[in-house]
Amino acid sequence: MASIKFLVKHFCWHFRFIMQRRTHQSATPDAVLSSILANLTVIDAVRTSILSRRWKRLFSSMPALNFSCLDMYGVYRDDHEWYPYYQQKFLKGVNELLELYSGRRVPCINMACCFARKFYSEFNRLMHSISRLDVETLYLYFDCGTAPFTLGTNPICDPSKLFNFSLELLSQASSLKHLLLHHCIVQPSSEVCFNSLVSLTLRGALLASGQLEGILSSCFNLKLLALRLCKLPYKLRISGSVTFVVFWACGGVEEIELQGANLRKLESELFNKVRFFFSFVPVLEDVIIHPLEDDTVSYVFDDLARDLPAQVQSLTIKLVPSQVNYFPTEMKMFRTLRRLSLILVSTHDCFDIVNLSPLLDACPLLQYLALVVTTPRTKRNGKGSREPPLSPTCHTELKEVIFCGFDGTGSEIEFVLYILRSAINLEQMLLGRGNSCYLGCGKWVNNLDVPFSGRQRNSIQKKLHGQAISSKAEVIIQ
């Protein structure tokens, strides 16, 4: 227990007042004390064990355990060769702490350790200790504070710097529901089954051919599979029980075959041209796609539009406004699409939103359109750009339009007028200055903005009044 003594040798100042008021302390419910510990680091929580008999084991009731070699020992990534004693002591100390939790329920363990490769046997013992706990969420980071890849380029990683993690280390973790592995090479095991695992996130990982398929075959109840900044093989096949698959800025892969009987949602950010083969996706209904490079835009409006299964009714496309210039002159039709969301992310380039109108013509059955503009207003084309204005096209199905980030510029007014004069069955159009930011994996953040002044609102209403071809159309300006 020498490592624990090393952790508790300094008194935690947060609890000096408790020592001065022993009577009041004894009357404090355990639930209240546990909530106090939940807001401390593990090292500070352990320090409280010297306060009294009651506090001696109270820290072991913390709902989440966060271990970091940097926070606990000040071991920086660049100082590895200078601190072998502290590195080994970190692993040993964490293992001894986890032994105090043996047989207990631990909702979450979050550990960042960038030198596990140097002490493989100690790390293995640590994983076996975790497997014996009733842990539900496990986040393992094998890189402290640095990313294995550079954003904006195809991911490239040096296998010699990645930790080789075998899933056999978690063979006894029967209660594990959520697993995240960062900066490692993941080795599947045909002898291990993860019946309880619901979500798996691999970030900065290297996967060879057949490894992902091996992992999926051992996770019978997996619902979410998220691959972020990973280096993948040329071909992938996604099968099994997953309902939501995310590819975020991954490199190497060029062909992805989808054979998920339960797959309902697909999200992908593409560095290079990736072809999706929808072999068997009978319930797929929602696709989110973000071409990170300009030359991948054509795929979205050509091959993807052609290959998209008929039952997919919701498509979200995230674009840099300059990528609108890469729309093909003749788009393939999204013949079954009912819901379309366009997200225009921040850029330094000026853009003309009117150029989005051809995309609406490629969606003849579209009923719902959401447009989210996060581009700085100073970089938008403030003038109506076409003489004469856009000619209305008959949209018979469009009923609802939401325009977030609307600022009332001439180009935006022209685009809105085009919709009002084209959608013969439009029921509602909502225009708001506030916008939303999409974070991925279905998560949005709403950014409130300064509302329109009375004068601005009146000016916009005057320009749009009486322009709707639909008698049911209601225009709401927030």
Query: What confidence category does residue 15 fall into, taking pLDDT thresholds of 50, 70 and 90?
Result: very low
The larger pLDDT score, comparing residue 256 to residue 6, is at 256
**Quick one: pLDDT at residue 366?**
92
Sign (positive or negative) of CA dihedral 331, 334, 340, 341: negative
Strand, helix or coil at 161?
A: helix
The larger pLDDT score, comparing residue 266 to residue 74, is at 266
**Quick one: pLDDT at residue 21?**
44
The predicted model scores a pTM of 0.79
Question: Considering only 9-18, 116-125, 384-393, which range has the smallest mean pLDDT?
Answer: 9-18
**Quick one: pLDDT at residue 48?**
56
CA–CA distance, 263 with 240 (Å, rounded to integer): 9
**Quick one: pLDDT at residue 407?**
86
The token duo for 469 is: 């071809």
Contact in structure between 54 and 60 (CB atoms under 8 Å): no
- 62: enclosing H helix or E strand: none
- Whether 16 has a pLDDT exceeding 50, the answer reads no
pLDDT tens digits for range 336-384: 889 998 888 765 556 778 888 888 888 889 999 998 887 665 555 555 5
The token duo for 431 is: 């225009």
**Quick one: pLDDT at residue 149?**
43
What is the distance in angstroms between the CA of the first residue and the CA of the last residue of the chain?
Answer: 62
Residue 335 has a CB neighbour count (10 Å cut-off) of 13
> Which class for 207: exposed (0-12), middle (13-18), buried (19 or more C-beta within 10 A)?
buried
CA–CA distance, 149 with 144 (Å, rounded to integer): 14
DSSP 8-state secondary structure symbol assigned to residue 302: I
CA 356, chain centre distance (Å): 27
pLDDT tens digits for range 206-227: 998 989 998 998 888 999 999 9
Strand, helix or coil at 211?
A: helix
The larger pLDDT score, comparing residue 89 to residue 45, is at 89
CA–CA distance, 125 with 110 (Å, rounded to integer): 17
The larger pLDDT score, comparing residue 187 to residue 19, is at 187
pLDDT tens digits for range 135-154: 899 999 887 654 444 434 44
> Which class for 452: exposed (0-12), middle (13-18), buried (19 or more C-beta within 10 A)?
buried
- Whether 19 has a pLDDT exceeding 50, the answer reads no
**Quick one: pLDDT at residue 427?**
95
CA–CA distance, 295 with 273 (Å, rounded to integer): 8
The larger pLDDT score, comparing residue 474 to residue 104, is at 474
The token duo for 173 is: 């973790």
- 35: enclosing H helix or E strand: helix 30-37
Smallest CA-to-CA distance from 440 within 175, 244, 235 is with: 244
- 50 CB-near residues (< 8 Å, 6+ apart): 8, 11, 56
The token duo for 112 is: 């960042």
Which spans in 229-351 are helix H?
297-299, 305-307
CA–CA distance, 313 with 79 (Å, rounded to integer): 53
| Most distant pair of Cα atoms in the chain: their distance | 83
Contact in structure between 256 and 283 (CB atoms under 8 Å): no
Contact in structure between 217 and 191 (CB atoms under 8 Å): no
DSSP 8-state secondary structure symbol assigned to residue 210: T
Q: What mean pLDDT comes out for the span 7-16?
A: 40
**Quick one: pLDDT at residue 416?**
93
Strand, helix or coil at 249?
A: strand
CA 452, chain centre distance (Å): 32
Smallest CA-to-CA distance from 114 within 144, 84, 90 is with: 144
pLDDT tens digits for range 297-312: 888 888 888 889 989 9
pLDDT tens digits for range 24-76: 445 556 555 556 655 555 556 555 554 555 555 555 556 677 777 766 555 55
pLDDT tens digits for range 170-194: 888 888 999 999 988 888 877 778 8
**Quick one: pLDDT at residue 139?**
93
CA–CA distance, 387 with 272 (Å, rounded to integer): 37
99: left (phi over 0), alpha (psi -120 to 50) or beta: alpha
The token duo for 79 is: 């100082």
Task: Please state, rounded to an integer, the average pLDDT across all residues of the chain.
Answer: 77
Cα R_g (the chain), whole angstroms: 27
CA–CA distance, 460 with 465 (Å, rounded to integer): 8
